[in-house]
Chain A
Amino acid sequence: DGGITQSPKYLFRKEGQNVTLSCEQNLNHDAMYWYRQDPGQGLRLIYYSQIVNDFQKGDIAEGYSVSREKKESFPLTVTSAQKNPTAFYLCASSIGGRGREVRGYTFGSGTRLTVV
């Protein structure tokens, strides 16, 4: 079955360390997105990518980095520059990409990152 997979489900990081969250989709979707969710804050966009080898900053990109070397994969690195990284991170994909209409997102099941 097609879907979008995030791993790991739970991740613990020591202060000062970089950590990479995985997101893989086999839906043949062009566009992929990373969101951060904090209680009462809703979903805030970190980065998005409409096409391979291209990505754009979202509303809260500081302290994060991404790559899009393959259509199926859009890993997110939480760097030591992110001052408050503890949160629930959601990856999503959509059939729309550059110049194409988005018809809603498919979300992964999320990664809960905790800084210890």
Chain B
Amino acid sequence: GQQLNQSPQSMFIQEGEDVSMNCTSSSIFNTWLWYKQDPGEGPVLLIALYKAGELTSNGRLTAQFGITRKDSFLNISASIPSDVGIYFCATMNSGGSNYKLTFGKGTLLTVNP
């Protein structure tokens, strides 16, 4: 099946620092999604990207759809303690009969106050 390489696997940062994580694949995709999972809860969609080169922000979060359509990154600026959680990238090929998301293995973020 399709493989997504998400890195880093985990991060330990101080409050106020910026964070960057990314996902890469050997396959081309039409959509990139970024989810956050709080401890003991289900993932929640943060940002959706539908066009190569697209750069989208959601508050302190910024994500980009790579121009090659094989990668995406997520940046978090000025981290705060509530940013703690697992961040997942996910992809799919839109249109037609494709209906399943493929998820990265996640980046576990810990923020020290």
Contacts and interface: CB of A to CB of B under 8 A. Distances in A.
A110 B99 contact: no
B66 interface: no
Q: Which 7 A-B pairs have the closest CB atoms?
A: A107-B42, A42-B105, A43-B103, A102-B99, A109-B42, A107-B43, A101-B94
What DSSP secondary structure best describes chain B's contact surface? loop
Contacts of A109: 40-42
6 contacts: A42-B104, A43-B88, A94-B99, A101-B98, A102-B101, A105-B45
Interface in A1-26: 6
Nearest to A112: B40
Nearest to A44: B103
A40 B106 CA distance: 8
A12 B90 CA distance: 31
Contacts of B98: 101-102
Nearest to B41: A109
B48 interface: yes
B41 A98 contact: no
